[in-house]
Amino acid sequence: MTTLADGTDTLTRDALTVLQPGFTGTSAPDWLLRRLGEGLASVGLFGRNIASPGQLAELTAQLRAERDDVLVAIDEEGGDVTRLEVRTGSSFPGNHALGAVDDVELTREVAHELGRRLAACGVSLNWAPSADVNSDPRNPVIGVRSFGADTDLAARHTAAYVTGLQSAGVAACTKHFPGHGDTAVDSHHALPRIDVPADVLSDRELTPFRAAIAAGSRAVMSAHILVPALDPDRPATLSRRILTGLLRGELGYDGLIVTDGMEMRAIAGTYGIERGSVLAVTAGADAICVGGGLADDATVRRLRDALVAAVRTGELPEERLAEAADRVRALARWASTPGRAAEGTRGSEIGLHAARRALTVTVAPGLGSPETFKPLAEPPYVAALTPVANIAVGDETPWGIAAELVHLLPGTVTGSYSAEDGRSQDGKESGAGAGESTGRAALEAAGPRRIVAVVRDEHRHPWMASALDTLLAARPDTIVVEMGVPQAAPRGALHIATHGAARVCGRAAAEVIAGL
């Protein structure tokens, strides 16, 4: 260990280098700028940090004035998970919509345009794409963030996404290794467990990651999941068997390994973020993502000190920490090298074009075909049946089709019915009773207007399905728009599956309803 000219030592600097913290506000706080000067090499941005593209560009310029090669990371998947457009909804459909189209060139173009916009704002690392195979339809955290339940489809689109994003000069971070699709537990709240044999994992979960590695993904994000077939004791983020033995050894990956957010309950609630961070770096992780909920200098100091202490006690080999820091710096050099971005093709309209192609429109028997279905001539009543927001998505991002229909059919009336309307007193989802009352309330509010019922993952929410039962029994001409995974059978006079809730998905569905 040596002391540098600025007074810091190499051990402390390496410990800071491997952290990817967040912060609050739309400009960089003094503590963050100071830490950049001391060795911090990465910063994570979230919706709370972004007001506009111009403001974001000013923020990233402020960061680079302190350290010109700083890695600026963001969780911008497009679709349901957007930070650039957190207040309006995304201009790009998410993975599930792209998988529904199944045009790898379209996926590459969408990822390139998204990457181009990120690069223009000064972002250099995107925590995307999700390579998870959504094999459990009950999955509460992946869902439309996955390209689909088909392994080969997920693999080819993961590779296309990585290629498109990185051709715009933004590093991809393929997630959530070794696969977060086969679970009904959200790792933001608890530790999921995937109980399948090793050969199933190899053939299903790992295939998209092999494709991402072959496509040159600059980073891979670990999952906070327990996979007993690989390691019966520790979740993937803390498992040397999984990060070093499997990802590095068997799959031959030599890029940056980033952890998922260490403040998520799957880690913080069991190990604590300090202990969890030490175990993650020891296991083979190179960068510690923290800041979705913990975003202050005290957190950075606690994690830095925990890593330094672990080296001094011999628990964390100093060369392992140095190796991790070197990988962070190597990606920072790649990301700050000019001239990497290639020109796109179809530009800003590619997102809406993709959303239109992703629609699946089903007309009830006897009412004709999608081509002959008569669009609405009068403004309808839009009943949005809204589940509790997923933490990864955030509850501040608007979704649905109401705003688009109001624009296309002025006079449209809207009403929102939350998941709380379908819950019993103990907080659990109740079935027909609450859903039936929700449906009756929507019928009363609609009056004589045609009803457009908007749902999100109807198959996962009994109250939502019951509300639709009530609506359709009384008004069989109701139009149903499914903006989640279309697992439930299509029903309604017209059923539109958008395969995601991005703003452009809502626009595409509204165009069909309005006959455009």
Active site residues: 188, 260
69 and 333 in contact (C-beta within 8 Å)?
Answer: yes
CB atoms within 10 A of CB 344: 18
Pairwise CA distance, residues 133 & 183, whole Å: 10
218 and 171 in contact (C-beta within 8 Å)?
Answer: yes
Phi first, then psi: what are they for 414, rounded to 5°?
-130, 155
Written in H, E and C, the secondary structure of 155-184 is HHHHHHHHHHHHHCCCEEEEEEECCCCCCC
Cα dihedral 271, 274, 280, 283, rounded to 10, equals -90
Pairwise CA distance, residues 2 & 12, whole Å: 10
Closest CA to 365 of 187, 492, 502: 492
Pairwise CA distance, residues 185 & 193, whole Å: 8
Query: Quick check: bond before 129 cis, omega within 30?
Result: yes
Q: Give Cα separations from 217 to 31, 187, 280, 298, 331 (angstroms).
A: 32, 24, 20, 32, 11
Q: For the chain, what is the largest distance between any 2 Cα atoms, rounded to a whole number of angstroms?
A: 80
Can you list the positions of beta strands (E) in 64-160? 71-74, 125-126
